[in-house]
Structure 1
Amino acid sequence: MNVFVIGASRGIGLEVVRQHLEAGDRVIATARDDAGLQRLRDLGAQAMKLDVADPASVSGLSWALDGEKLDLAYYVAGVFSTEDAQSPPTQQAFDSMMHANVLGAMQALPQVAPWVQEAQGQFVFLTSDFAQIGGVESSRGWVYHVSKAALNMAVVAAQPDYPKAQFLLIHPGWVRTEMGTPDAPLLPEESVAAIRATVAARKTGKVGFVCSDVPYLRWDGTPFSSW
């Protein structure tokens, strides 16, 4: 299986790469700095330099993937901040969050999805339970809430343009990474193993996906009751 992972220098993304390589898959993975690229090479992945927050960096992605058939692609890249609604976000903080979590995905999607469609494969976007509009109890991570809700909409809206590719939105859980903090209950290997099982269970031979077919799931495969 050919697998492409965007945002794989550490944490969940790096674990996605490790598990797929361990399963015998061919993996192309991106990182934005030399240290991250070296970690990917050390695992045995084909490393590609990419910074999703930099439009110029993302602009050549389709060319770099020319001729590939991607059975599975992941958009893992993202950032988090804890600011709440008691003070306005700075333009810099807002732009940084939206570039990484939304604009990066929207720029990468039309460059990667055609190669996923070539293989009638799956394109997984790591989202968050913070994207839910129903049941919100706190403004903690205010801009992050907004960015992940926007990501969900971007993916759902794009699905009909790529009917031979299956898009999935998956919340990885609260994972013990640098972003998730040491207090998180899930280890990266636990989250990723569950995500891989969930993705495999959703694989179908159906051709002709539409926006209503995009599932919004937890890492263990259980669907969210609302968006």
Structure 2
Amino acid sequence: MHWVITGANRGIGLALTKILLSEGEVVTVGVRTSMPFEHENLKILKVDTSNPVSIEEFVSQIDTPIDVLINNAGVLIEERFPNVTEEGMLLSFKVNTMGPYMLIQECYKKDKLKEGAKIVNISSILGSITNTGGTTSMPYSISKAALNMVTKLLAHKLKNMYVVSIHPGWVKTDMGGQEAPLLPEESATGIIKVIKNLNKSGIFIDYKGDTIQW
């Protein structure tokens, strides 16, 4: 299978890439800087998911039909009420919401997605309106809630594909911090298993496959 992953140079994205390559899968990654390693089944492309032109150029360079698209690139700007800035909010929306939407749309328009393709938006339980108790970042939570709407809307449009939001757990990464209980490899292993067994669209689940309320 051909997997496409954004934000793959560190954290969960890097763990996903390494595991998939070890399983013999073919992977194309989109990164803003560089990858820490090379592999014969790995194609490395540049993409800035906050920039629609960069997204178009990235998609045009994907030369194999996509079985699985993982929108993993994200940004966490720790701004709390009442000190949230317009800049923080806009960047969060560009990267966490608009980026995934525009990437999916561009892949669809350029006919890069296979019939039955699985489109996975890496969301967060912090974007669940039902489960809201608090947040370390207003822009992050709001942009992830909006990403969940992207998932739901596109699940209705792309009837011959699967579109889901996945909460990866609280993971020990640059974004998750060192107090997080999960290692990136644990989260990534769960996410891959969930994707391979996926048979529903328009759902919000975690890395173990358990349903999360919107």
Which TM-score applies when normalising by structure 2? 0.92
Task: Please report the TM-score for the alignment, with normalisation by the length of structure 1.
Answer: 0.87
More strand by share: 2
Contact 1:40/1:46 (<8 A) preserved: no
**How many residues of Structure 1 are paired with residues of Structure 2 in the alignment?**
212
Answering whether residue 58 of structure 2 is matched by residue 70 of structure 1, we say no
Query: Counterparts of 2:19 and 2:165 in 1: how far apart (Å)?
Result: 20
In the other structure, the counterpart of 1:61 is: 58
Q: In the alignment, what sits opposite 1:209?
A: none
Q: In structure 1, the residue corresponding to 2:29 is in which secondary structure?
A: strand
Aligned twin of 2:95: 100
TM superposition shift of 1:43: 7.9
Change (3 A) 1:43 1:148: farther
Aligned equivalents of 1:63, 1:138: Cα separation in 2: 40
| Deviation of the 1:73 alpha carbon | 1.2
Residue 122 of structure 2: aligned partner: 126
Give, in whole Å, the separation in 2 of the partners of 1:12 and 1:119: 26
Name the structure 2 match of 1:140.
Answer: 136
The letter of the residue matching 1:85 is F
Q: Structure 1 residue runs of 4+, over 6 Å off?
A: none
AA in 1 matched with 2:140: Y
* Root-mean-square deviation over aligned CA pairs: 1.7
Percent of matched pairs sharing the same residue: 26
- Per-residue CA deviations over 1:181-218 (Å, capped at 9, x if unaligned) read 111100000001011111122147xxxxxxxx411001
1:47-58 aligned at under 5 Å gives the runs: 47-58=44-55
What does the per-residue CA deviation read over 1:49-72, in whole Å, with 9 as the maximum and x for residues that have no partner?
Answer: 101012221122332225x22111
Compare the two structures and name the one with the higher helix fraction.
Answer: 1
1:101-140 CA distance string (max 9 Å, x none): 0111111011224422x24221111000011112322243
Question: Which ranges of structure 2 fall in alignment gaps of 5 or more residues?
Answer: none
| Amino acid across the alignment from 1:220 | K
List runs of 5+ in structure 1 lacking aligned partners: 205-212
For 2:202, the equivalent position in structure 1 comes to 214
Quick one: distance in 1 between partners of 2:39 and 2:159? 36
Structure 1 letter corresponding to 2:49: V
